Amino acid sequence: MSGPLYEQRLLKYHLGESFATVKVIPLDSGNCTEWWVSHNSEKNLRVVGNFLIPILGYTVAEAEQRCGHIAQGVVEFAVWSGNGVSGVPGSSDEGRRAHCLSHLMEHYETLERSGVSGAVEKTCALYLLALGFNINNPAALIAQAEGLSSVKTVHERLAYGRKLGLLNSPGKGKRR
């Protein structure tokens, strides 16, 4: 795979049922970090935090090391607050898609442990998570995370999930 989406370096932190991805953004006066935190609690898979946090340090390596020191606190705060948003504009759609794909892939593997075992249920849970990243065409990323060769399969599962009441109404592929 090639392209900017796959070239972005994301730090990843696993803390219990929570997962965080972090991108270090070098600035003239240090570094800024973009954090995305998701959590799976009792079959409720969702984004619980999106933060931009400045990290002082002269190099990206120092910033990455400092992220490791604060990761537990950031994740715990995000889970505690339930829906933390920094209020500062985040990354581009491409950047959010890179974060989203990491979270989808991570949680796809853990859904069965939380009692979500059917293909339709998993796809619907991943779709609801993807909506939290406010990206275009989440079905394409879900197909990739689930190892499907066709996005049509994801669309069919989502339609069936709506009939079962797992999803409220037809989506437009992007949340605003």
Where exactly are the structural domains of the chain? 4-85, 93-164
| Over residues 130-138, mean pLDDT | 91
In the chain, % of residues over pLDDT 90: 57
- Closest to 66 in 3D by CA, of 24, 107, 119: 24
| Over residues 51-74, mean pLDDT | 90
pLDDT at 160 over 80: yes
In the chain, % of residues over pLDDT 70: 86
Local confidence band at 90 (pLDDT 50, 70, 90 cut-offs):
low
pLDDT at 30 over 50: yes
Please name the residues in contact with 66: beta carbons below 8 A apart, sequence gap of 6 or more: 55, 56, 57
- Closest to 113 in 3D by CA, of 11, 32, 43, 33: 43
**For 109-130, what is each residue's pLDDT tens digit?**
888 788 888 999 999 999 999 9
Quote the pLDDT of residue 120.
95
What Rg value do the Cα atoms of the chain yield, rounded? 16
pLDDT at 171 over 80: no
| Over residues 120-145, mean pLDDT | 94
Please count the helices (runs of H) and the strands (runs of E) in the chain: 6, 5
pTM of the model as a whole: 0.84
Residue 113, Cβ density class (10 Å: 0-12 exposed, 13-18 middle, ≥19 buried): exposed
CA-to-CA separations, 99 to 9, 21, 90, 94, 170, in angstroms, rounded: 10, 6, 11, 9, 24
| Over residues 56-72, mean pLDDT | 90
